[in-house]
Structures are given as structure tokens and as C-alpha cells.
A = this chain, B = another copy of it.
Amino acid sequence: MRSRIEDVAAAAGVSMKTVSRVLNNEPNVRDITRERVMRAVEQLQYKPNLSARSLAGQRSCVVALVYNNPSRNYLMEIQNGMLEACRANHYNLVLGPVGSGTQRAADIKGLFEYFGPDGVVLIPPLTDDPVVLAYLQEHGVPFACIAPREPQNHIGVMMEETAAVVELVAGLIALGHRRIGHIKGPRAHGACQWRYAGYRQALRTAGLAYDPRLVVQGEFSFESGMQGANRLLDLPDPPTAIFAANDDMAAGVIRAAGERGVSVPRELSVCGFDDTPIASHIYPALTTVRQPTSEMGRLATLELLDRIRTPDGGRMVHVQHTLLFRDSTRAPAH
């Protein structure tokens, strides 16, 4: 049979409460006592019963990852990072997919009624969702945001996306490109505004005029990348380079170019954002920006746990990007 806290107490010659104090890192225990308890825990291979702990402690020891439509790869990376942080802190991770439209309010309500997570991590595009944010704030649920549009109001993790894109587009300009197209991400994603801002800023810095015809709206999907590319390449004066706001769309651009007989990178340079596996698996390999996504999941969870444990704990952490110039970009033809 599995050992209980009572057995540990007996073995260490102390009371249950003292064992509980040691296990929860509470103060007011002498070091000697603490050690004695730890030894008993070791010997008996004691593992706390999570259900009992939750029931008595009126907390769930659960954090939820709440999401809606993210790219599978992105979600998987975030999830892995969160899992790591959860395990290290004896928390459990619950997945909280929510539907769209009116469904999402009901879904998040159900998640809380059922699992009662002690806190929540939000990823785009839900990071900026007013319905979800309102629910969490009203119910006083601690939450951490990944890549929110308004970082100053929240705790969580972010990357300087604008700066990253400025560097990326400046790289294209340095190669000699003067007409650079952009395929935007969906409006609901706050991050896409940062990426668009970086595109414009890079042009401005280089003294290049902004041509609105070179900017088209995408939806982050491969197909929307193809459509966007076709629109841009149909222009009387088409761009020599296209920056798509994510890798899936950039892959769509490469595919569309291939189908039109436009050679990448000889006749068209393409770059994306995220460095998902597809970026290095398509031909030619994609120039893109790498986010430390898994690390962002881990850090967001850490900040969330901080906030859970202390009312004003947690802050907005910044992580670094990495530019990856690969085979899909080159100096323009002439």
C-alpha cells in the first residue's frame, strides 16, 4: 500500500502537521526536524495524494492552457514548455480548447466549473480576446499572456516582434530589394500588428515609400498565403520580395510562385516568421525569424505560478528572437 502522511509522521516521530509544513515549505520548522522528515519521506517513498491535497487545500494544483485555433506546431511547443514548468512545480496541466463565437464563453465557463484551475495561460489570438479576459478578471483568476497586444497590462512573456521584423526587412533591403510585399496575419492576432509595424518601420528607415497595394490581408493559413502571393504577383509592378507574417503563409507563397513558374529565390525572395518545421523542410528552405516558443510556454507558466502564489507576483518577461537567413532570399534579379 501507498504510504500516507501519517506513516511519514510516525516514522519521523513528529505530527502530521509538521510533515505537511515541511512538504509545503512552510516556515516555523527547525532544520533538524525538517531533515528528519525528509529522510522519512525518502525511506517510505512518500508521494502526496493530489486529490486529498486539492480537496483539503481548496485549490486544484491545475493550470490550464486556453487556446483557440493556433497553429499545431505553436501549440505543441507552448504545451511542451508548460508541461516542463508544471512538472517541476508539481502542478498539473489541463488543456482548454475553446470554440469560437458565442461558444467560447460557454467553453471557458465549463472549463472552470469542471477543473477549477488555479490559473490560466493564454496564447494568441485568445490573449487579446475581450470575452475571455473579462471572464478571468471578473472571477479573479490569475492568468499569464503570451505575446499580448497590450503587454503593459498583463504578466506573461513577449518578444520584440517589431524589432525582429525591422531586422528581417532591413536584410531584404540590404540585398537590394526595393519593392517588398507583405502578407498580414489575421486581425485578431495582436502580434500581427507588431509585424506589420516592423515592416513599415523598416521601409521608413530605408527611405522607401510605403505602397498599400503591396500589403494584403492573410489568415495565417497556407492557402491564404497562396492567394496573397497571387494577388501580389498579379500587380503590374510586382514585388521582388514578399514577407509573410508566418511560415505557413510563406510556404503558400513559395507554392504559388512554383505554380506560376516564378523561381524562388532567383525571381522572388520569400520570408516568413516563426521557424516552424515546415520552414526548413520546404524547398528552398525559408528565411524566417525564430521564436523560442517552448521556452515562452515555460516562462509564462513560471510567471503564472508566481502570481498564483503571491497576489502581485509575476511580470512581463522579454525573450530574444533569432534571424535565420536561408535559401529563400537572395539579391533581386537585376
Chain A positions near chain B (C-beta within 8 angstroms): 45, 47, 49-52, 54-55, 60, 72-73, 75-76, 79-80, 83, 90, 92-95, 97, 113-115, 222, 248, 251-252, 254-255, 258-259, 277-278, 280-283
Q: Give, as a whole number of angstroms, the nearest-CB distance from A179 to chain B.
A: 24
Complex: chain B residue closest to A111, CB-CB = B87
Complex contact A52–B55 (CB within 8 A): yes
CB pair B252 A281 closer than 8 Å: yes
* Contact residues in B for A113 (Cβ distance below 8 Å): 45, 47
Residues from chain B with Cβ under 8 Å of A76 in the complex: 72, 75-76
Main secondary structure of the interface of A (DSSP, over half): helix
The oligomer's copy count stands at 2
Cβ-defined contact, B83 with A97, below 8 A? yes
Q: Which 8 A-B pairs have the closest CB atoms?
A: A51-B54, A51-B55, A258-B283, A51-B51, A47-B113, A255-B283, A72-B76, A222-B281
Question: Other than the known A51-B54, A51-B60, what 17 A-B pairs have Cβ atoms closer than 8 Å?
Answer: A49-B55, A50-B51, A50-B114, A51-B51, A72-B72, A72-B277, A75-B76, A76-B76, A79-B95, A83-B97, A90-B114, A93-B95, A222-B280, A251-B282, A255-B281, A255-B282, A258-B283
Question: Which residues on B sit within 8 Å (CB–CB) of A49?
Answer: 55
Contact among B79, B83, B90, B281 for A282, CB-based, below 8 A: B281
Given the known inter-chain contacts A75-B76, A282-B282, please indicate yes or no for A47 contacting B222, CB distance below 8 A.
Answer: no
Residues of chain B within 8 A of A277, CB atoms compared = 72, 222, 278
- Chain B contacts of A51 at CB under 8 A? 50-52, 54-55, 60
Complexed CA–CA distance, A95 and B93 (Å): 8
What distance in Å separates the Cβ of A324 from its nearest Cβ neighbour in chain B?
16
Within the assembled complex, what's the spacing in Å between the Cα atoms of A114 and B46?
Answer: 10
Inter-chain contacts of A93 with B (CB < 8 A): 94-95
B251 touches A281 (CB 8 A): yes
